Structure 1
Amino acid sequence: MILHDRQAERVELERLVNGARDGLSGALVLRGAAGIGKTALLDHTVEAAADLQITVVAGVEAEQELGFAALHRLLLPFLGELGGLPAPQRHALETAFGMLAAPAPDRFLVGLAALTLLAGAAAERPLLAVCDDAQWVDRESLEVLAFVGRRLHAERIVLLFGVRDDDTVLASLSGLAELHVGGLPERDALALLTATIDGDLDRVVAARIVAETGGNPLAVREFARGVTAGDQLPFGGPRQLSHRLEARFLSQVRDLGSLTQTVLLVAAADATGDQHLVRQAVTLLVPGSEDAVDAAVEEAERSEHLYGGLRFRHPLIRSAVYGGATRAQRRRVHAALAAVTDPATDADQRAWHLASAAEGPDERVAAELEASAVRARERGGCLAQAALLHRAAELTAIGPRRNARLLAACGAALTAGAPHRAEELLDCLTADLGVPALDAQAMRLRGLLSVMLGRDGAVGLLLDAARILTKIDVEAARDTLLEALDASIVVAGSEEGASTLRVAQAALELPRVSSEPAVADRLLAAQATQVAVGYVPAVPRLSEALAAMRADAAEDGDAARWSLLCMITALDLWDGVALGACAQDYAASARRNGALRALLSALHGLATWELPRGHFAAAEAHFEEYVEVAKAIGTFPHFARPRHVMLHALRGEEAETMAAVAEQIGPGGDRRGGLSVQLARTALTVLHLGYGRYAEAQAAGDVIYEENPPHYGSLVLPDLVEAAVRNNDVAMAERALARLAERATASGTPWALGLLARSRALLADDEALYLEAIERLGSASLTTELARARLLYGEWLRRRRRRSDACDQLRIAYDLFATMGATAFAERTRLELRAGGERARARAVSSSHDLTPQEIRIARLAAGGATNQEIATALFISANTVEYHLRKVFRKLAIRSRRQLGRALPD
């Protein structure tokens, strides 16, 4: 293939292909206008990569609502190797493709399966996978392939996308490298024009064609042919170029015979590419001999609109043919395609054709679409389910059934993580639904939409929905109230904070469903009691809820929906054992099931658990994985940022802490409510304590004390006691201690009682309390809190002129702080040692031999005995990438085997 110019694009594509030959991978999105040359570049790359394995798929406009259709076509050459996949991945892919009847898999488990399958094929020979016209690829396939592209590293795979400048589609491909393909430079456009025209062309006319087309190669060729044929040169510039090209193609098509035009229209309406099916439909529309149909196909191919296999030379020709037909003509064609489509083997395609053939409301067709939506849901194709239900609603007479189908479509879109699409569907509802159950469902969906999009009003909507559902479906009301509590805890804003109490009161008034409460019932009752009644009365219920969340296999059931509330409960109780166990169990379940959205909550819980234990490197690794997973699944930006703020504060990273605090509290510093706000203020208190700025620390902690939020309101109390004592505000210290004593005593965990003893020691001037704090915090392996207790004890001893004893405590504290990387607290301790007469040199923080967070995660799993495939499954990468990173780990740690990893890695 001869390409004019495109030197920069070809260099980049060649670099990727050569990288695959050398053992690496890469993904690239070629974006640009219709006809600009994306397909030509992709075809050129395919020709240049003849030594690679190649699989190609192109989006088809009529197929874009059929979930996983494009993915199936792309992976078709490799499906014979499905048996080699780990069982969960194999089952996920088989279910998505309708090969297995099983519960709907998570889309990202399908993505991991696709990655593993492609990586296995590439192990034999490098692989080039091409997805052209991605704007017409079904969204499930597109998001799976985008996920694969974001996880590629060392598999010998190149994944290329060709896509028009479509913001929605490009958003699905966010995070992948992009290359914008523009028009040809004037010199190259003229060269293409000269090569296209048979004979000389006036220079003025040639320059006008280049200018009018903006260097668009398809337009240059088509308008050059038009000039050669004596057509009038079009004017208007390149802005509406695609419409002008479609008009030109349509004009050419209308010069063909009527039967040829019918063949083209049927081919344009068909999504399967099945020549036999198209010929059957044409024969049904225009009864006649097979020879006549063959002649019509040959005429279409001679006109260069089609080439082998009834494929269109360019998508604009397909859209021109389909869009240029009347509605009646399109309906007739779809009716014919429905008639010749076998319902036993392709019921979904048949239902879609029937819907396109319908002239108005048709309950029989709507019911078939609804059945197809059920099948789509069972395969995990929630966006396809939403599209099918939306079309079913369009074919349903105005009334409750239509609204019910629209609400079901909206719910499917939300499940698929497409809130903007869900909102469009909600806006199609009639103004007054008039059915309480539907009203409640609409409110609930709007509330969940507001949470996902970070809007105000979510809690109020969910609460109103729950109140309606209380009279209709108590279990649904319970779940809605839990969603409202979850939103009120997570979302910052004064309106949301004021709503939390109303949600809790409604929850306490909810009728009991059965004699044996489910996990959700226990969790709702516990959280509602904490908010509406108080911390101490809630402790028994909170403990019961935690126990239910930790019951055998609870993480694989409905409890997984509420894992965030579970971990918040554990933190509010200062129950480090439960926090760690829940975070580990729910993370493991999320990894097994490919539930990456659920994994985000668990990763945040794991990172939070590691902070009081002094494992800052492990916490950072969990936070970094959070970011990677959020990017891999295309999470909305406000959910894609984990709360690093406490890690920054404990490390003494002032600039990073202050930036995170400003982001979470807001520019005015007066945002109320929400975990992120309370966490930011607590982190600010800790940061100032590390630097010995006690007045500033107290000021930050005072705000939380005065607000007294039901969640995360207790964590700051021991810090506030310390800040107030050091700031000589005994009255504030005593008030904070009284609240802490009440709550810590009710909790009774080693963490709570250790913090209480440490705080009491600051006010009681009692050595025994310091020793109690050290014993309790040490036995619970809470290294960060233990180091702080030893620092405070050492400061107390030095002020009693017991310098030797003080230095003993301060040296231990200093070593602990320096080892974990708490630089501000380490410096505060070092200065205290120096004041006691001991010269302590500042120590550098352990660097883990400069291992990246990803390398640390892989190395820890390998040290624990996990195989490469097990690590790959856990981290949603390929086994090849695991091996690549392990080689780097071995080199950095100067070791040669996995057996040495345990000794070489830091704690």
Structure 2
Amino acid sequence: MSPDRHAAPLLGRGPELAMLAERVGGIRDGGGAVVVRGEAGIGKSALLAEAGRLAAAAGVRGLRTTAAESEHQVTFSGLYQLISPVLDQADGLPAPQRDAVLAAFGRSDAAAPDLFLVALATLNLLAEAATRAPLLLVVDDAHWLDRASADVLMFVARRLEFEPVVVFAAVREGVRSAFDGAGLPELAVGRLDDGAAAALLDAGAPRLRRAVRERVLAEAAGNPLALVELPIAMRDAADGVAPIGPLPLTRRLEEAFAARASALPEATRLLLLAAALSDGEVLSEMLAAAAAAGGEAPTVEAFGPAVRARLLEVDGARVTFRHPLMRSAVVQQAGIGQRRQVHAAFAALPGSDEDRRVWHRSAAASGPDEGLADELEAAAGRARRRGGVEAAVAALQRAAELSADPRRRGERLLRAAELAFELGRHDLVSELLHTIAATELSPRQRTRMVWIRGRFDDGVGDVQAGARSLTELAEQAAADGDSDLALKVLWGAALRCFWTEPGAAMRDEVVRAAVRLPVDPHDGRLLAVLAFAAPIERGAVIVDSLRRLAAHPSRHGRASRRAEAALLVGAFDLAVGFCATAITELRSEGRLGLLARCLATQAWGAAHLGDLAVAIPAAEEAARLSRETAQPIMYATARVTQALLAALRGEWDRSEALSAEAERAALRVAARPVLATVCHARGLAALADGRHTEAYEHLIRMFDPADPAHHPALCCFAVADLVEAAVRGGHRDPVLPIVARMEDVARATPSPALHAGLRYARALLAADDDAEALFEAALRADLMRWPFARARVQLAYGGWLRRQRRAADSRGHLRAAGETFDALGTIPWSDRARQELRASGETIRRRIPAARDQLTPQELQIAQLAAGGLTNREIGERLYVSHRTVSSHLHRIFPKLGVSSRAALRAALTYDTGTVM
């Protein structure tokens, strides 16, 4: 008697099963996810089944699905099968989430749901269901999940720290899946050792002849499925020689299954093919399709020989293959003509879903069919409206294959590539663009192709489409009357001007092309192009427009574009303000890719203002979302911003670790802005730690045009730090020519950051007879929204007054500087202010840690939102976590801050705990 196909492969799986059991046993203390990875037939399903039984015995509710290759293009099919038992609780979700998840499953006619809204809805559904009993989600053959379902599950898996929900996802080694490189914990399931392999074989086939037994053990090489299945395929071997050659295991098993199928009656083989090509498990549909394809009406008894051959199982009205390899072996064995017949039969079944009919008809097609291509294009639109971007891409690809008109083929491939970009699938975009390049395209279509190619990594990695060629394409689009496309392509050219160094002449070409476009001069997209291409040369125009827009908010483009423009011209206060508006819009729309960029912009601007309360949580969220949305350059930008923030807080080791991580990413693509900011972060850290010469050596690189870390815009924002490091480190004279050069730059642009830095630098460099007037002039400047810059001037001025033996005059400036630094959380500068005050003869008290010093970035963000009056559900919607996670964070936050209510939390965050001196 053969062993139980679930229990037998557990032989020798003690360590793996113990790990899964431990995770299930600790589910009430918090959730998480485990990717169970191994080759085909290695016993992953058996492990998951046993984990499910252990969970049930422990009172843990199980939700399970097995993904099928046939449903890989059916959007959200896997997710629906998994969470449908808890979908009746959707009415308790916030309206946007409820509408999104119901639209995704075709239960409402709402507009196209954003993937991340569906993901947040799923997270909250599971979190709510887990309040009744902990949940174990098991996804077998997760590599066959449709992309939308997989992305939602990865989103959920990363946010289960405080939920009693555990996800186990089994994926096959060597098969590409969305779980590859997802950063989730993995359990590698390897082959059985010799003893366990022999025990499994003997349990299932105890009477094998010795030669056959030895050959099976050798061929199976510890693979449990092979140990169970190969004896069946070889039981007719009379001389003990196995009829299977030394092939790769998967192919070997497929051939074994195919050999067993070939011996079955013809009617059974046709039913097997119908089952293999079906996109469901419904017995009646398979019988009907087989009847239509073969001309006879088979009965369910025709499945009998396949069941006895252990190829599949029939359970009531459902038919399932015992292993995916069996399905693929059946399809591989059938001829293409027969496969087309069965696909056509499925397409003709009454009552079938419209999109499934189209897919089956397209699989049955043997040549170009423009009408069918149109139907597939319509199916792509329906999939996109349901949030199934990957299914839409696949439909457009197949529509292109069926297109008779080359221009329409190219258009469909271009649309597929644009959608693939939304998925963050660089590989798929590259594959599509390679196909498009050999297609007959119009000039406009070729322009779109170039634009699509440069969208990944902000064009940093695309050396073929330089700024000049993009500018020429934009001018052609403008001449054709397509200003919108021209702006898009010019945006790509401007990005290359920012991330690389094409030279002043090229920047001028981009600017000339941009200003000739017939668009509103206050359009945020136009301002962003000018700022990225020529932030100094066009600084006056940009700053003037941005100030007008800030004073009179309008509909001129997205606030996120205005924020990026403000950042690059050094108007950090405007950038942070525009970001606040844009972030609210992007959160409400669930556009996490753009949200990550905008948060990175907000963090960078707030860091330069010294506003750590805004910058710290923004940078942390930007880094997290950039990874989730596959934006490596934005991730590096967020990390180097975190390095700046760590330097401002005096966290030297953390600052260096973050700088090194960002530097590694930037060096791969020669991203000058990241390299420049790495030097800035290292220089600021050394300056704050009193290592002045080291600070000077890092910062001077930003001002050397021959250095890869030089950037003409970003060095404008480091003038104050460079001059302070030079003066304190004994490098005053070498820095004078650089300051003179920056004075020339300042005459070309009203950049607030540059002018604030130069006012500070002039005072530091001045002779004693001139210094007081220059310090006073720096303090008279409007720095109300630049508290860190003002406090630095007060600190330096107070220190200068003390050294001039004017201790009484110095204390007011030093006290004000210290209070500001304490409030901002810039600890090294706060300590320096205390040292200066002590030297002036004033008695001071120790600094009391502020709230931000005690909380993690995410805790600080949640505390700020809670103090602002938002409920846990509202906070969860903003941050894309469940409301239970928010509650768990607050339970940690309250004792850290010594409070017990939201009202007290508000007081703890607004009370300046650092001003006691």
Q: Which residue in 2 is equivalent to 1:298?
A: 304
Contact 2:525 2:562 in 1 (8 A): no
Which residue in the other structure is 1:313 paired with? 322
Seen in structure 2, the aligned counterparts of structure 1 residues 452 and 546 have a Cα distance that, compared at 3 Å, is: farther
764-773 or 836-845: bigger deviation: 836-845
Contact 1:754 1:774 in 2 (8 A): no
**Among 635, 647, 650, which residue is 2:648 paired with?**
650
Q: Distance in 2 between matches of 1:87 and 1:868?
A: 16
Return the alpha-carbon distance in structure 2 between the equivalents of residues 62 and 847 of structure 1: 53
CA offsets per residue over residues 359-380 of structure 1, 9 Å max, x none?
A: 1111121111111111112122
2:3 counterpart residue number: none
Shift of 1:657: 4.6
Q: Report whether the alignment pairs 1:471 with 2:473.
A: no
Cα distance, 1:476 vs. partner?
A: 1.0
Match of 1:551 among 547, 551, 554: 554
Aligned position for 1:486: 495
Structure 1 residue 455 displacement after superposition? 4.0
The CA deviation at 1:827 is 5.5
Q: Is the 8 A contact 1:687 1:697 kept in 2?
A: yes
Equivalent residues in 2 for 1:287-436 (5 A)?
287-289=295-297, 292-307=298-313, 308=315, 309-340=318-349, 342=351, 346-397=353-404, 399-431=406-438, 433-436=440-443
Moved more, 376-385 or 353-362: 376-385
Aligned to 1:63: 71
Alignment of structure 1 residues 600-679 onto 2, 5 Å: 600-616=596-612, 618-633=614-629, 635-636=631-632, 639=635, 641-643=638-640, 644-654=642-652, 656-657=654-655, 674-679=672-677
| Cα separation, partners in 2 of 1:341 and 1:136, compared to 1, 3 Å | farther
Deviation track 1:416-469 (CA, whole Å, cap 9, x = no partner) reads 111111111111125363521121122112222463673434543543432332
Cα deviation, residue 477, structure 1: 0.7
Instruction: Say whether residues 1:584 and 2:583 are aligned partners.
Output: no
Aligned pair in 2 of structure 1 residues 669, 273: CA closer, same or farther (>3 Å)? closer
Residue 213 of structure 2 corresponds to 206
Residue number in structure 2 paired with 1:263 = 271
> In structure 2, do the counterparts of structure 1 residues 634 and 538 end up closer, same or farther at CA, with 3 Å as the change threshold?
closer
Query: Are 1:9 and 2:11 matched, yes or no?
Result: no
1:28 and 2:34 correspond: yes
Rate the CA distance shift 1:559–1:885 in 2: closer, same or farther, 3 A: same
User: How much has 1:181 moved relative to structure 2?
Assistant: 0.8
- Contact 1:519–1:545 (CA under 8 A) maintained in structure 2: no
Give the partner amino acid of 1:758: Y
CA distance in 1 between counterparts of 2:704 and 2:12 reads 68
Provide the C-alpha distance between the structure 1 equivalents of 2:859 and 2:542, rounded to a whole number of angstroms: 42
Contact 2:647 2:685 in 1 (8 A): yes
Aligned residue for 1:758? 760
- The whole-number CA distance in structure 2 between the counterparts of 1:875 and 1:592 is 11
Bigger mean CA offset, 174-183 vs 272-281: 272-281
Q: Deviations over 1:225-270 (max 9, x none)?
A: 3444447554889871111111111111111111111111011001
Alpha-carbon offset, residue 126 of structure 1 = 1.6
Q: Compared with structure 1, are the counterparts of its residues 187 and 58 closer, same or farther at alpha carbon in structure 2 (3 Å cutoff)? A: same
Paired with 2:533 and 2:622, the residues of 1 have a C-alpha distance of 29
Q: Confirm or deny: 8 A CA contact 1:147 1:633 kept in the other structure.
A: no
Q: Distance in 2 between matches of 1:125 and 1:52?
A: 6
Whether contact under 8 Å (2:876, 2:883) holds in the other structure is: yes
What are the Cα deviations for residues 716-765 of structure 1, in whole angstroms up to 9, with x where unaligned?
23334545555333843751563475367x45x6x776555434434372
Gaps of 5+ in 1: none
Q: Is the 8 A contact 2:762 2:774 kept in 1?
A: yes
**In structure 2, C-alpha distance between the alignment counterparts of 1:182 and 1:432, rounded to whole Å:** 45
Residue pair 2:359, 2:376 contacting (<8 A) in 1 also? yes
Aligned Cα root-mean-square deviation (Å): 3.4
State, as a whole percentage, how many aligned pairs show the same letter.
36
Aligned match for 1:218, one of 221, 225, 228: 225
Structure 2 partner of 1:567 = 563
Partner of 2:747 in structure 1?
742
Q: 1:217 to 1:273 in 2, by over 3 A?
A: same
By how many angstroms is 1:810 displaced? 3.4
1:869 aligns with 2:873: yes
Contact 1:740-1:756 at 8 Å conserved across structures: no
Seen in structure 2, the aligned counterparts of structure 1 residues 705 and 415 have a Cα distance that, compared at 3 Å, is same
1:732 aligns with 2:737: yes
Q: Which moved more, 1:466-475 or 1:784-793?
A: 466-475
Q: Which moved more, 1:716-725 or 1:380-389?
A: 716-725
- After superposition, the Cα gap between the structure-2 partners of 1:339 and 1:577, relative to the gap in structure 1 and judged at 3 Å, is same
Q: Is the 8 A contact 1:572 1:715 kept in 2?
A: no
- Which of 883, 886, 901 aligns to 2:905? It is 901
Q: Does structure 1 conserve the Cα–Cα contact (< 8 Å) formed by 2:29 and 2:162?
A: yes
What is the one-letter code of the residue matched to 2:717?
Answer: L
Aligned to 2:129: 121
CA distance in 2, matches of 1:102, 1:310: 34
Task: Indicate conservation of the 8 Å contact 1:213/1:237, yes or no.
Answer: no
Secondary structure of the residue that 1:506 maps to in structure 2? Answer: helix
Paired position in structure 1 for 2:915: none
CA contact (8 A) 1:718 1:737 kept: no
User: Structure 1 539/628 Cα, relative in aligned 2: closer, same or farther at 3 Å?
Assistant: closer
Q: CA deviation at 1:704?
A: 4.2
Query: Which position in structure 1 is the counterpart of 2:775?
Result: 770
SS of residue paired to 2:35: strand
Range 871-880 or range 642-651, more displaced: 642-651
Q: CA distance change for structure 1 residues 777 and 90 in 2, over 3 Å: closer, same or farther?
A: same
User: In structure 1, what residue type is equivalent to 2:860?
Assistant: I
In the superposition, relative to structure 1, how do residues 215 and 438 fare at CA in structure 2: closer, same or farther (>3 Å)? same
- Do structure 1's residue 882 and structure 2's residue 886 form an aligned pair? yes
The answer to whether the 8 A contact 1:777-1:786 is kept is no
SS state of the match for residue 279, structure 2?
A: coil
- Paired residue for 2:49? 43
What residue number does 1:810 align with? 814
Matches within 5 A, 1:130-169: 130-166=138-174, 168-169=176-177
Distance 1:885 1:475 in 2: 45
Asked whether 1:178 is paired with 2:186, we answer: yes
C-alpha contact 2:633 2:666 (8 A) present in aligned 1: no
Q: Which amino acid aligns with 2:404?
A: A
Q: For residues 840 and 862 of structure 1, do their structure 2 counterparts lie closer, same or farther at Cα, with a shift above 3 Å needed? A: closer
- Tell me how far apart the structure 1 counterparts of residues 541 and 617 of structure 2 sit (CA, whole Å): 37
TM-score with structure 2 length normalisation? 0.88
Note if 1:798 corresponds to 2:794: no
Contact 1:720–1:733 under 8 Å retained in 2: no
| TM alignment of 1:820-859, pairs within 5 A | 820-826=824-830, 828-829=832-833, 832=836, 846=850, 848=852, 850-859=854-863
The residue that corresponds to 2:106 in the other structure is 98
Runs of 5+ unmatched residues, structure 2:
1-5, 913-917
- Equivalent pair of 1:527/1:538 in contact (CA under 8 Å): no
For 2:361 and 2:639, locate their aligned partners in 1 and report how far apart those are by CA, in whole Å.
Answer: 47
CA shift, 1:328, in A, is 0.8
- Cα offset for 1:853? 2.1
Choose the corresponding residue for 1:714, options 716, 728, 732. Answer: 716
For residue 845 of structure 1, report the CA deviation from its aligned partner. 5.9
